[in-house]
């Protein structure tokens, strides 16, 4: 159910608890439309695009609990981005977007109104609601003029650099193809020209046959650690069927995804002994909109910057300056540990 915040930004409720509320609350903060301006520049040395968004320098950073902008607005407490006194899942336009001025769009997805929760602690029903929100927004943002790719992602943990600890993610409608997407499409195009097959589908089939880096197999989804994993903890979750984006998933695929994704996140949280909540980045890579869409295939990439309890993998000279990655473990060890920490 969409409403408009006081500065004109769109907010959409995705409710899963009956009786469903009518959502008559209004945002009375009297906000002015944020003065945002971003610019996209091309690095001619690498062919990569960079967004310049100076207004993000002043965005909210780790506020105290009573000033959480993603909490519901409740009597006696400061008003927040969500005017309702409670909610299930909500999506709204980011007040500090990476893209502005009619180019691209950035949205925030709040997974729950509970600030102490995490995605891993959600119920299957709530996880399914988040998936429905992702799919709904993927379809809507893909239809916007100029959109080249829609990506849903979550940054979890202060070690990652999150500015708000409330459980949430983001959805970006990119007006260009990010560097990793360009690389994936280039490799997929070469693979198709050489074999006639789908690169991501063939990699999944190879991993299933080899079985050494597999983490789990369901009826609709499988998860594995990539052969050349860059991070100390990294995995790929992919559908068995050729699917371009989250909006194309069937009801059965969405239902199993809610179960499988929660399973994986809970394994990630048990990966490091003595660590309750592993910091991670989780991103849904979806097929581009328009040109080269047939080369894309939906998959989730999840990784952590933690290499051991209390120790992070810093991207030093080799990785940061040259993009020459050095992993401190092996994909086979990562997969073995993720299998070991499965719920019995």
The average pLDDT across 288-315 equals: 96
- Write the DSSP symbol of residue 163: S
Question: What CATH number does residue 57 fall under?
Answer: 3.30.428.10
Q: Give pLDDT tens digits for 93-110.
A: 999 999 987 789 999 999
Alpha helices in the chain (DSSP H): 124-142, 179-195, 199-210, 251-270, 322, 331-340
pLDDT attached to residue 84: 96
Domain boundary among 131, 158, 178: 178
- Segment among 56-65, 68-77, 133-142, 271-280 with least mean pLDDT: 56-65
Q: Give pLDDT tens digits for 223-253.
A: 999 999 999 999 999 999 999 999 999 999 9
List residues with catalytic annotation: 168
Let me know: does 246 contact 317? Beta carbons within 8 Å.
no
Assess whether 253 and 298 both reside in one domain. yes
Domain boundary among 153, 178, 203: 178
Assess whether 334 and 188 both reside in one domain. yes
Assess whether 160 and 192 both reside in one domain. no
What's the CA gap between 21 and 17, in Å, rounded?
9
Mean pLDDT: which of 1-10, 29-38, 124-133 is highest?
124-133
pLDDT attached to residue 328: 93
Does residue 57 surpass a pLDDT of 90? Answer: no
Does residue 132 surpass a pLDDT of 90? Answer: yes
Using CA atoms, how far residue 164 sits from 14, 71, 84, 335, in Å, is 21, 11, 19, 30
Assess whether 46 and 141 both reside in one domain. yes
pLDDT attached to residue 59: 78
pLDDT attached to residue 66: 86
Selected residue with higher pLDDT from 54 and 322: 322
Assess whether 266 and 313 both reside in one domain. yes
Q: Give pLDDT tens digits for 110-119.
A: 999 999 999 9
Using CA atoms, how far residue 228 sits from 169, 210, 286, 314, in Å, is 27, 15, 21, 18
The average pLDDT across 312-338 equals: 95
Q: Give pLDDT tens digits for 11-53.
A: 999 999 999 998 989 999 999 887 788 899 999 999 999 999 8
Assess whether 287 and 321 both reside in one domain. yes
- Locate 15 and state its tokens: 């409710």
pTM here is 0.96
Assess whether 207 and 315 both reside in one domain. yes
pLDDT attached to residue 344: 66
Assess whether 121 and 184 both reside in one domain. no
Using CA atoms, how far residue 67 sits from 26, 62, 78, 161, 223, in Å, is 19, 9, 7, 19, 38
Assess whether 229 and 174 both reside in one domain. no
What's the CA gap between 254 and 247, in Å, rounded?
10
Q: How many domains is the chain built from?
A: 2
Assess whether 210 and 233 both reside in one domain. yes
Confidence of residue 1 (pLDDT cuts 50, 70, 90): confident
Confidence of residue 151 (pLDDT cuts 50, 70, 90): very high
223: left (phi over 0), alpha (psi -120 to 50) or beta: beta
Assess whether 221 and 291 both reside in one domain. yes
The average pLDDT across 202-224 equals: 98
Q: Which DSSP helix (H) or strand (E) runs through 312? A: strand 311-312
Domain boundary among 178, 206, 229: 178
Q: Give pLDDT tens digits for 63-84.
A: 888 899 999 999 989 999 999 9
Domain that holds residue 10: 2-28+36-178
Assess whether 106 and 240 both reside in one domain. no
């Amino acid at each position: 159910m969409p409403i408009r915040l006081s500065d004109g930004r769109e907010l959409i409720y995705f409710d899963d608890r009956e009786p469903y509320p009518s959502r008559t609350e209004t945002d009375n903060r009297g906000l002015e439309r944020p003065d945002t301006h971003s610019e996209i520049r091309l690095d001619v040395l690498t062919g990569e695009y960079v967004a310049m968004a100076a207004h993000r320098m002043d965005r909210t950073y780790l506020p105290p609990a009573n000033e959480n902008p993603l909490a519901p607005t409740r009597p006696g407490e400061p008003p927040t981005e969500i005017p309702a006194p409670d909610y299930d899942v909500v999506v709204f336009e980011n007040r500090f977007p990476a893209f502005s001025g009619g180019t691209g769009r950035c949205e925030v997805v709040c997974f729950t109104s509970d600030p102490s929760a995490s995605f891993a602690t959600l119920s299957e029903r709530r996880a399914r609601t988040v998936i429905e929100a992702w799919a709904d927004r993927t379809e809507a943002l893909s239809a916007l003029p100029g959109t080249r790719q829609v990506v849903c992602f979550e940054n979890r943990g202060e070690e990652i650099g999150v500015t708000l600890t409330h459980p949430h993610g983001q959805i970006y409608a990119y007006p260009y193809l990010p560097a990793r997407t360009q690389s994936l499409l280039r490799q997929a195009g070469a693979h198709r020209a050489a074999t006639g097959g789908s690169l991501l589908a063939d990699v999944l089939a190879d991993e299933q046959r080899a079985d050494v880096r597999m983490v789990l197999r369901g009826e609709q989804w499988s998860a594995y650690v990539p052969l050349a994993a860059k991070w100390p903890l990294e995995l790929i979750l992919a559908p068995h069927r050729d699917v371009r984006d989250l909006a194309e998933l069937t009801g059965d695929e969405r239902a199993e995804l809610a179960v499988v994704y929660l399973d994986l996140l809970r394994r990630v949280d048990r990966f490091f002994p003595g660590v309750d909540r592993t910091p991670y980045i989780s991103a849904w890579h979806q097929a581009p909109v328009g040109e080269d869409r047939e080369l894309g295939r939906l998959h989730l990439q999840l990784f952590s910057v933690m290499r051991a309890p209390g120790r992070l993998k810093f991207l030093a000279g080799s990785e940061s300056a040259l993009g020459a990655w050095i992993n401190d473990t092996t994909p086979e060890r990562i997969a073995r540990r993720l299998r070991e920490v499965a719920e019995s």
